[in-house]
Every structure is written in structure tokens, then in C-alpha cells.
Amino acid sequence: MFVVAEVILRAYWLAGGRWAYTACDRTNLVDPTGGCGANRVETLPFWAGWGAVGVGAALAVLVVCAGRLPGRYPAAGSWAAAALLLVLAFPLHLLFEIPAALAGRPSDWRDLGARLALGTGGLLFIGLANASAPRRGTREAGYRPVPRWTRRWAYVAVALPVVGWAVPHGLWVLGVPFGIPQRQLEDTHRDLSTWTGAAITLVPPLAGLLVLGLTQRWGQQFPRWVPGLRGRPVPRLLAVIPAGVVALTLVTYGVLSSAVLVRQVLAGHTHWSDLREGWAVTATLLVFLCWGVALGITTAGYASTTRPRSGAGHGHALSRSRRPDLTPVSARKIGAKAEPDADH
């Protein structure tokens, strides 16, 4: 349904309609509530029109193949499609833009809705990849300690949003121009309310604490205080998919934002003096990149530790059946002699 809806919407735009279409540039919003003059756009950009229709057709073929011929390759294609849709959705931007929009800041709701739809499509393709993948062995119950290197990377993933994000943003909310010019601080206070700034400051580090679940027992078994689920195993995908999506988003955002910054510097639109004056803002790009890498490595360690072991029970039973009889010969002879007497 997602693919069909997206293709129909793009075909509607190609036919001349502009409902839900936006011509706004997120870096320079002009009349965002009206789509920035989308109704006056005569030539639709390629990737918003025919390019998106072509991608939609390819995704439709993938869905049919995954449904009729499930296996390793359709699952890999579904994972690739999910990654593409989630990257295009820019969910990290949504994390900040939606609270700001709800607080009253003028926002491009057409763009937000389109990216929410892309994110939903990415989650649907994750489910398709899981459903079409070959089945592996069952997961053994119980807690498996993660390697020490996984714990270290988890601590890094928790510390980075606190030190690199919450501390500078908290100072900015309090009116301290830490690493940014005073005029930029005044613009920030004018655009965002105190409550919105506090939410933007606290949400990333609080969400980052969930990374500890990838290294603790409650990340593999539901705690006892959870009604109806206490002691039961936590589904692997319930932890791996969200953590992997966030890690991919953080890395993508860091790489793309750094590339845009380098391009602006090379083109002369941004000067080195501006970077030195606002070094705290520039450093957040590196924070996002390193945060995503640390979270990705932690997720890989969790996934490797909790991976189902195919044929584990069968192999264990087989090993017991092939175990040699180490009973002393004299004891076996005594037992053989005792059997007739017992029958008698």
C-alpha cells in the first residue's frame, strides 16, 4: 500500500497537481505553511517525479519477489530499500522539527508529512525483510554477557550526546554564548521558546541511555516489574532495528552535513573565521558522526551475542548420544552378573 500510494501521488504531481507537494528549501524557509510557491512550479524535479516513479516500480517488484520467492536475496533487497527510505526521511531532523512546529514555529508540514511517510515505509520494508529472510535456529533462553569491547563502545555512545550535545545546548538555553557568536544565540532564543529548547537539549541524552540496554540483562530479558512479560526474552529485532536505524541516521547526517559544510567553505559561502567563531556548532557534526559509529558498533556486538544458534539443541543431544561409556570394565561385569539374580 505504501508503494502504491507513493506512485499514485507522484503521478498526480506529474499530471499537474500540487497537493502535498512542497518547493521549500529546509535551509532557507520562505512561506513554509504554503509550500513555498509549490503551486507555481511548472517543471517537476526529476527525483520528485519520474525518478520517484521508477524507484517505486522497483520497490513494487521487490515486494512481489519477497512475497512469492522468499529467501536471502529478497531479504537483502528489502533491507537496502528500508535503509534508503529511512535515510531519505531524515528522522533526526524530525526529532527536532516536530517539537518546534508544535511549539508554534512556522514549519513546512508538507515536508514533515512526506518524511514521516518515508520513515513509515522504511519500517514496513524492515518487516518485509524479516518475514522473507531464511529461518535460523531458535534462540536459547537466558542472559548472554556481551563482550567487553561492546560495553566500552556503549559507554562512548552514552557519553557523546551528554558532553557533545546536552552541555553546549544547556548553556545556550541559559544564555551563555558557549562556542557561538552572541548574535546567533539571540536568534536562537528568538526562534525557540524555553520549553522547546529544554526539550531539544534533554531528549538526545535521555534517549542515549537506552544504549545501555544493549549491554545489560534488561536488554535481553524483560525486567520482573513489566507485567505479563517479566523474565521473557526480549525479541532481538525489537532492540537491533531501532538501534541500527538510529546509528545509520546519525552517521548519514554527520557525513552529509560535513560534506555540505566543506562544499560551502570551498565555494566561499562560509569562511574559516565563521567556523572558528562558531566552533561549537561545527563540532556537533563530528559528535553525530562519532555517536552513530559508537552506537552501530554496540548494536553489532549485541546482535552477535544474541544471535540464534542453529541446531544447538540437536548437536547437544547428538554429543550426549555419542559420549563414550567410561564405566570401568569390572563394574560392567558385576552389573551383568547381577541382572539374572534380579530377574530370578
* DSSP letter for each residue of 57-116: HHHHHHHHHHHHS-SHHHHHHHHHHHHHHHHHH-HHHHHHHHHHHHTT----HHHHHHHH
pLDDT of residue 327: 46
Close Cβ partners of 173 (under 8 Å, ≥ 6 residues apart): 194, 197, 198, 201
Mean pLDDT by 10 residues, the chain (344 residues): 90 88 71 74 86 92 88 86 84 70 74 88 84 69 83 93 89 85 79 73 84 88 77 80 84 85 85 84 88 93 82 44 46 46 44
pLDDT of residue 295: 93
Among 165, 236, 178, which residue's Cα sits nearest to residue 207? 165
Phi, then psi, of 224 in degrees rounded to 5:
-70, -25
Please state, as a whole number, how many other Cβ atoms lie within 10 Å of the Cβ of residue 335.
Answer: 11
Among 90, 124, 94, which residue's Cα sits nearest to residue 109? 94
pLDDT of residue 319: 43
pLDDT of residue 26: 66
What long-range pairs does 75-81 form, CB within 8 A, spacing at least 24? Answer: 75/129, 75/130, 75/132, 75/133, 75/134, 76/129, 78/125, 78/126, 78/128, 78/129, 78/132, 79/125, 79/126, 79/129, 81/122, 81/125
- Residue pair 247/299 in contact by the 8 Å Cβ criterion: yes
pLDDT of residue 196: 72
pLDDT of residue 299: 92
- E-assigned strands of the chain? none
d(CA 46, CA 50): 6
Give domain limits for the chain.
2-132, 148-308
